[in-house]
Amino acid sequence: MGHSGMLPAAVVAVGFAVLARALRAVTDGGALAGAAIAFLLIVAGGLRAFVPLIAVFLVTLLATRWRAERKRSLGIAERRAGRSASQVVANLGAAALCALGAVQFPQHTRSLMVGAMAVLAEAAADTVSSEVGQAVAAQPRLVLGFARAPVGTNGAISLEGTFAGCIAASLVAWTATLCGVVAWRWAPIIATAGAAGMLFDSVLGAAFENYGKMGNDAVNFVSTVFAADLALLALMSLNR
């Protein structure tokens, strides 16, 4: 994208941040971080790259607010102020890194956008699986050992939440292909990488976060990087 495209990218990114803040989905810092990430994605992939980001925003917002009263009664609801800058960066920062790489090395834009979309798929899957699981699951189990665990426990999964997360990852993947951000053949890889990252997040939560060895933001960031790496490795293997 040339200099002439920077202004539309900035306008859309700022508009997105203002909307997210107005809906109380993010804090002021979260809105700024979201605007920066949206700007980089648009500069790297064009205005169409903004559509999968909107898909992530909408599905996670709906999942977070679904049956919020139950979550509040359990003491596990998302805080009313919205996601902070660190949370936004933890979930979407890896996509920004892929976009930045695409801007610096345009010849690799197609590959790096697959990685960025895998990050978005993982972010959607992770949030949706957690929120749906907390909303409907009666007794989740730890991903390691499958012992029963209270709702909201790090590393605890449920069939309902996992299924919803896979749907969310697929929705983001197919949105990216419908908009022309990536080729159709990469949609299954993006969705699979997103779902795998979601499960990896649960493993990290059970193995490290529960014992204070990793924070939630670190777990989320590592899981998105895992999803991007997985998608990029699959892409390179298939392009040989």
Does residue 77 have a pLDDT over 70?
no
At 80 the pLDDT is 65
pLDDT classification of 202: cutoffs 50, 70, 90: very high
> How is residue 77 written in tokens?
């609801």
pLDDT classification of 9: cutoffs 50, 70, 90: very high
Distance in angstroms (rounded) separating the CA atoms of residues 98 and 220: 16
Mean of the pLDDT values across residues 115-134?
95
Does residue 222 have a pLDDT over 60?
yes
Percent of the residues in the chain that have a pLDDT greater than 70, as a whole number = 92
Does residue 81 have a pLDDT over 80?
no
| Residue 208 contacts residue 214 (beta carbons within 8 Å) | yes
Mean of the pLDDT values across residues 33-52?
96
> Whole-number mean pLDDT of the chain?
91
Q: Residue 176 to residues 80, 137, 155, 198, 212: CA-CA distances in angstroms?
A: 30, 30, 29, 19, 36
How far is C-alpha 46 from the geometric centre of its chain's CA atoms?
19
3-state secondary structure of 137: coil
Mean of the pLDDT values across residues 70-80?
63
Does residue 3 have a pLDDT over 60?
no
What residues form DSSP beta bridges with 19?
Answer: none
At 27 the pLDDT is 94
Distance in angstroms (rounded) separating the CA atoms of residues 137 and 157: 9
Distance in angstroms (rounded) separating the CA atoms of residues 240 and 229: 17
Q: Residue 33 to residues 49, 131, 140, 181: CA-CA distances in angstroms?
A: 17, 22, 33, 22
List, in order, residues 6 or more apart from 7 with CB less than 8 Å away: none
